[in-house]
Structure 1
Amino acid sequence: DGGLIANGEPVGASGLRQIHELVLQLRGQAGDRQVPGTPRVGYAQLYGAPGTAGVSIITT
């Protein structure tokens, strides 16, 4: 869906926005953004200053 650059930089909500998109994709509810096939795993990562990083892996 264009990622964070296309959606602005919602400080404090970046990770939540990514997780929301992954859930929509895994449920097959992403509309025009839906990836082809039947996705079963979603991966999100974020980095914040100073040196904070996080990764989420979601499966169906």
Structure 2
Amino acid sequence: GRIPVNPSGGLLRKGHPVGATGLAQITELTLQLRGECGARQVPDARIGMAQNGGGSIGNDAAAMSVTILQK
């Protein structure tokens, strides 16, 4: 589509390793921006965003981070 989402398969494909999901997201963004993702490469990737939350307060995440990387 016009705005690709989860070209790597997302965290479910990675087994959602607690504590390492944020690093996996940043690694995927970095590889995409460098053009090193092979078959799952997003053409002309110039900007990427990762969002990660953890813990819970009721039905909401207790902590949230958003990272934006630009080439």
TM-score, reference length from structure 1: 0.91
SS across alignment from 1:9: coil
Aligned to 2:63: 52
Aligned to 2:59: none
Instruction: Give the AA of the match of 1:42.
Output: G
| Structure 2 residue runs without a partner (length 5+) | 1-7, 57-61
Find the structure with the greater CA-based Rg. Answer: 2
Aligned to 1:41: 47
Identical amino acids, percent of aligned pairs: 53
| Structure 1 residue runs without a partner (length 5+) | none
| Structure showing the higher strand proportion among its residues | 1
Instruction: Give the AA of the match of 1:28.
Output: G
Question: What value does the CA root-mean-square deviation take over the aligned residues?
Answer: 0.8
Q: What is the total number of aligned residue pairs between the two structures? A: 59
SS across alignment from 2:23: helix
The equivalences for 1:1-60 within 5 A come to 1-36=8-43, 38-50=44-56, 51-60=62-71
Instruction: Give the AA of the match of 1:45.
Output: Q
Instruction: Give the AA of the match of 1:2.
Output: G
